[in-house]
Structure 1
């Protein structure tokens, strides 16, 4: 189970890191939701259960800990130079 969760978490972290400089970071919340749901479905299928029963048995905290470990990314802004100094 941990390998599956790690794989989905790695996909999210890579996407988050790739889009870290983007101004439209809110669209990543939807991607995060889709990846968490897909991970839950994959694990439920592995255990021959429904998603609801699987999450009720193990708790949604299992997925939370892997998907909330986001790397802190620093964004740098440089002042725009309006004219070239001679």
Structure 2
């Protein structure tokens, strides 16, 4: 895959306000379960899971199973730089 296609896919994967919020919150909070993510998004499980799956497929997020729960965290730190450029401030300031 060309670098252009790869970057276009990365931009598509964060082209929704919910997905941007997930990345920002995971950076602030650290790894979170689906239930914790649902809570801060105030969205149903189906919506939350759909957005997580999109970002996981583009390797923006990684998941780690601990006992009965799956924890999500930001895997691709390049995404933080993209969000900072888009929003015009350091991701740690959100």
Tell me: higher relative CO, structure 1 or 2? Use CA pairs within 8 A at least 6 residues apart: 1
After TM superposition, the score normalised by the length of structure 1 is 0.31
After TM superposition, the score normalised by the length of structure 2 is 0.29
The structure whose Rg is larger is: 1
